[in-house]
Structures are given as C-alpha cells and as structure tokens.
Amino acid sequence: MLAKKRPVPPKIKKDARPMTVQPSASDLTASSEKNLAAPRWRREEVVRLFELPFNDLLFQAQTVHRENFDPNEVQVSTLLSIKTGGCAENCGYCNQSAHFDTGLDASKMMEVERVLAEARQAKEAGATRYCMGGAWRSPKDRDMPMLAAMVTGVREMGMETCMTLGMLSDSQVATLKEAGLDYYNHNVDTSEAYYDKVVTTRTYQDRLDTIERVREAGIHVCSGGIIGLGEDEGDRADMLMTLANLPVPPESVPINMLIRVKGTPLGEGDNVDSIEFIKTIAVARILMPTSMVRLSAGRQAMSDEMQALCFMAGANSIFLGDKLLTTDNASVSHDEALFAKLGLRPMPLAR
Ligand code: SF4
C-alpha cells in the first residue's frame, strides 16, 4: 500500500512582497518624494509574478487577499451612463467616441431627478456604490452644478459615489469634492508604451495629471485598465506597475475584459485568453493588497468558473445591473445565483 504523503503548499516567494502595505492618502507628500527614488515595485518583480506557475500565483494572490479582506465578500457597485456618446476622444475600443460609426445614439446629460430615481433602484437591488459615467473629453463648467447635485443626492441615499467624466480642471475637482464625491474613475487603460495604439487624442501623462489632481483634492481614485487591446504581458505588467507605484495606489482597480464593439478600431480580433486575464487579476491583487480589485466589463462573456477563479485570484468588486454604460452586463438574477453557488456575500458599506 502506498504511504499517504502530506501535500506541501507552494512557498510564497519572499521577493514578491505579498504584504506590501499601501500608504494612506495622508502619507501622500512624504511617500511621493520617497517614491521618486524607490518605486514600490520593480519591473522584474512584476514580470516574475506573471511568470509564476498558475497555481503558485493564485495561491499567493489568495493569501494576500485573505490577509486584507474577507475572501467571501464582494463589493457591489452599479454604473449608469448619465451622458451617452458623442465623445471627442478616440479610444479605439469605445462605441461612445464621435470618431467611429457604431450606430449608438448620442444623448444629452440626464436630468438630476432621473439619475436619482435610477440610484434609488440600484440601492434597493443591493448596490453600495453608485457610479455615474459621462462620455466627455472633459465636462463643461456649465455642467458642474448638475453633476454636483447628482453626487449630493446619491450620497444622501447612503451610497458611496463615483464619477467618470474625463479630464478635470482644478476647479471642477473642487466642485465635485465639495459635493461629496467619494471616488473618481480615470483608467490608464494600458501601458504608457502601448497607449498611442489605443488612443491618440490625449497622452498618458494627461491621464496621470487628472489622477494626481483628484488625489490631491482628497477624492479616492479608481483606476485600472482593459485586457485584450492587443497589448502583451509586458504591457500588462507595466500598467499594473504604474498604478501600484503611484504615490498612493488607487483604492479601486477595475480590470476590464475588452468587449469588442463593431465599428470601433478594436471591434475585430481574437478573444482574450481567460488564463491571461485571471493572471492579471492575481498580479493586481498582489501589487495592490488593500485596493478593491474590480472584475468589470466583459463578465457577461465569462463562464461561472472563470469568474470563480477571478474571485479566487483576489477580485472583490463587481458591477451589478444588466447594463454597463452602453454595453451588456451579466444579469442581476445570474449574479445572485452565482453568489449563492460560491457562498459570496455583498460587502457592507464601511462608513
Ligand atoms: S473618453 Fe471615455 S467615452 Fe470618450 S471615447 Fe474614451 S472611453 Fe469612450
């Protein structure tokens, strides 16, 4: 008879620094200066994580996850398009760009009351964060009073607020902060080196500048990227390293799987490899241990098994609702069934 061998868990590599502690926003100045001299993560460390055997990477990511979060809680957000289409930017994946003919009907900014009615419904469905997205290069100053009223109204319902409106000036950031905005979303999308293959109407630095402006005003940052733009693993490593090495890493890191939309430059192409996507989630979790890593666009094309592996890799936030701005999302009933199957619970609001 064969003797039973005790399984040996894979070792966590010391040099991968799974327990990196992220600085708080109040550490910003000191850490910013320090960061210039010594980035929190070096490129070879990030590349080494991507090169780990899949099981070792997942074990390491899940270990980091458990040290910082309840592994069975997932934060639930809802996203609403408050101004659709007609955007002056030319992001190659986006059906809201005015540069591409995708058949999408552009619309003006929604009235405040309608946004608040939608937010009320989202709250009843279990959302604790309400995200509002406007397809702009940057909003006009005349739009700011209405945007501020949306933020204040949603906050009064007891939900966290998030907006994504494009580039912001200092005074626009100040208006949103005063209205009570909790998070501002501004994705870096991909690596700096690959950026001009995706969008040419702005630079990577423009993106980083708005993120810095938002951070300095004391608004939490939500910033992540998209997998499937034609980038390679090195670009994914660079993108995550950029985010993790910001003076204060984003509190929320959405990782999107490209939804190909006909009529956009990235509308045709191969599907993203599931394992590559899950690895990106795992590396994001290890690099930014205390951030919410959000499994964002593309979930409707993922199997339950793939989503379960993403949660195992450290994803702990999703968008709930049948629509994500203008593209389809997994249905609410499917998500409820998936949560029940996996024993997941919505994360309560920490306020
Ligand atoms: S800035 Fe936003 S809305 Fe405008 S084209 Fe890019 S992704 Fe689309």
**pLDDT digit string (tens) for the chain, length 351 residues:** 333 333 333 333 333 343 344 545 444 444 444 444 578 999 999 999 999 999 999 999 999 999 999 999 999 888 899 999 989 999 999 989 999 988 888 889 999 999 999 999 988 888 888 999 999 999 999 999 999 999 999 999 999 999 999 999 999 999 999 999 999 999 999 999 999 999 999 999 999 999 999 999 999 999 999 999 999 999 999 999 999 999 999 999 999 999 898 899 999 888 889 999 999 999 999 999 999 999 988 888 899 999 999 999 999 999 876 666 666 676 778 888 999 999 999 888 765
CA–CA separation, 296 vs 305, rounded Å?
Answer: 16
Dihedral pair phi/psi, residue 247, rounded to 5°: -45, -45
What residues are paired with 132 via a beta bridge? Answer: 80, 163
Number of Cβ atoms within 10 Å of the Cβ of 323: 13
Based on its alpha-carbon atoms, the radius of gyration of the chain, rounded to whole angstroms, reads 20
89 lines ligand 1 (CB under 6 A): yes
Helix (H) or strand (E) holding 345: strand 345-346
Q: What is the DSSP string of 252-299?
A: EEEEEEP---TTSTTSSSPPPPHHHHHHHHHHHHHHSTTSEEEE-TTG
**Using the 8-state DSSP alphabet, how is residue 313 labeled?**
T
Query: Which residues, in sequence order, are bridge partners of residue 342?
Result: none
Contact between 95 and 104 (Cβ < 8 Å): yes
Looking at 40, 129, 215, 222, which residue is catalytic?
A: 222
Tokens of 111: 């009235």
In ligand 1, the atom with minimum distance to the C-alpha of 94 is 8
What integer pLDDT is reported at residue 325 of this predicted model?
Answer: 62
Amino acid at 338: L
Ligand 1 binding pocket includes 335 (Cβ within 6 Å): no
Residue 172 three-state SS: helix
Substitution candidate for ligand 1 out of 89, 109, 131, 266 with most atoms within 8 A of CB: 89
| 3-class state of residue 86 by DSSP | coil
166 CA closest ligand 1 atom index = 1
Burial label for 212, CB within 10 Å (0-12, 13-18, 19+), is middle
Spatial distance between the Cα atoms of 344 and 73, rounded to a whole number of angstroms: 6
Whether 166 is in the pocket of ligand 1, judged by its Cβ within 6 Å, is yes
pTM of the model: 0.85
Using alpha carbons, select from 221, 242, 245, 222 the residue that is nearest to residue 231. 242
> What are phi and psi for residue 197, nearest 5 degrees?
-85, -10
Report the amino acid identity of residue 106.
Answer: A
* Nearest-angstrom CA–CA distance, 49 and 287: 10
Q: In this structure, are residues 256 and 301 in contact, taking their beta carbons and an 8 Å threshold?
A: no
Q: Which fold has domain 67-346?
A: TIM Barrel (3.20.20)
Cα distances (angstroms) measured from residue 161 to each of 73, 142, 158, 208, 219: 20, 21, 9, 21, 10
Tell how far the Cα of 97 is from the centroid of ligand 1, in angstroms: 6
